[in-house]
Amino acid sequence: MSGLILKLAAGEKVVINGALLENGDKPSSLRIADANARVLRCRDALKPEEVDTPVKQVYYAIQLLITGDLEDDRVLPALFREIEHLEEVFRAIDPEAIPQLREMLRRGNHYSALCHMRNLVELEAELFRHARLKNTYSEPRAQVA
């Protein structure tokens, strides 16, 4: 048996092909046999107010593709342009990260692309933390008279 296996906690919600499903009161597993199904675990979803960085913008766009709120034909060209900008940043850290993401989206494998993006969200957060620390240490110190 192949396909995507989702292990759902009690009461966990998931969107499959635009339909919101909620698991019952016991943990369960669900096999998605259709390779073209669009799956989004609600626990992985970003809220609009959380979309405050370039990587999160791409993540959110992929999320909206999965839920059916955006259409591939209309969004993918713009999404690929945004991804191209990210490639400049992530090339030195992980040269394969963005090419892999681009290929997942070309194949229509949105769930894998979203999972891949979670790693980039974490990397981006680490880059921002590092930049803030660097700015903190590079501020001129007051001279003692």
3-state secondary structure of 75: helix
Q: How many Cα atoms are found within 13 Å in the side-chain-facing hemisphere of 142?
A: 2
In a domain, residue 110? The reply is yes
93: helix, coil or strand? coil
39 and 103 share one domain = no
Smallest CA-to-CA distance from 34 within 61, 6, 70, 71 is with 6
Residue-level pLDDT, tens digit, the chain, 145 residues = 467 899 999 999 999 988 999 999 999 999 999 878 889 999 999 999 999 999 999 999 999 999 989 988 889 999 999 999 999 888 888 899 999 999 999 998 898 999 999 999 999 999 888 888 777 665 555 555 4
Cα dihedral 101→102→103→108 (10° resolution): 90
- Decide if 145 is inside a domain: no
Domain that holds residue 38: 1-44
Q: Judge whether 142 lies within some domain.
A: no
Is residue 6 in some structural domain? yes
- Tell me, yes or no, whether 78 and 125 share the same domain: yes
Domain presence at residue 7: yes
Domain count, the chain: 2
